[in-house]
Homo-oligomer: A and B are copies of this chain.
Amino acid sequence: MKTQASYLDASGAKALLESVDTFLFDCDGVLWHGANVIKDAEAVVNKLQQLGKKVFLVTNNSTKTQNEYVSKCAKLGFQCSQSQVVSTSFLTVQYLKSLHFDKKVYLVGSTGLSRELDAAGIRHIGLGPDVMEGNVFDGRLDHIRLDPEVGAVVVGFDSHISFNKILKASSYLKNPDVLFVATNRDERFPMEHLICPGTGTMVASVCVASGREPVVMGKPSQQVFEALRQQHGLDPARTLMVGDNCKTDITMGNLCGLRTMAVLTGVTTAAELQRLRGSERADEAVQVPELVLPAIGDLLPHL
Residues of A in contact with B (beta carbons under 8 Å apart):
34-35, 63, 129, 131-132, 135-139, 141, 144, 146, 158-163, 166-167, 170-171, 173-174, 187-188, 191, 193-198, 200-202, 204-211
Contacts and interface: CB of A to CB of B under 8 A. Distances in A.
A163 B197 contact: yes
B161 A166 contact: yes
Contact of A187 (B144, B161, B194, B208): B208
A195 B178 CA distance: 15
Contact of A209 (B162, B163, B197, B206): B197
Q: Most chain-B CB neighbours within 10 Å: which of A162, A194, A202?
A: A194
A208 B202 CA distance: 9
A202 B205 contact: yes
A171 B193 contact: yes
B144 A132 contact: no
A173 B207 CA distance: 23
Nearest to A203: B208
A163 B170 contact: no
Contacts of A135: 159
23 contacts: A34-B137, A35-B137, A35-B139, A63-B137, A136-B159, A141-B191, A146-B193, A161-B163, A161-B205, A162-B162, A163-B197, A166-B201, A167-B196, A170-B188, A171-B193, A187-B209, A188-B208, A195-B209, A197-B209, A198-B209, A200-B208, A204-B204, A205-B205
Given A163-B197, A195-B209, A202-B205, 8 more contacts: A132-B159, A132-B160, A136-B159, A141-B196, A161-B205, A162-B162, A167-B195, A188-B208
B188 A209 contact: yes
Given A193-B146, A201-B208, A160 B163 contact: yes
A209 B174 CA distance: 26
A62 B173 CA distance: 26
Contact of A162 (B34, B161, B171, B191): B161
A63 to B, nearest CB: 7
Contacts of A163: 158-161, 197
Nearest to A188: B209
B210 A195 contact: yes
A162 B132 CA distance: 11
A191 B163 CA distance: 15
Contacts of A141: 191, 194, 196
B211 A194 contact: no
Contacts of A209: 187-188, 195, 197-198, 200-201
A170 B197 contact: yes
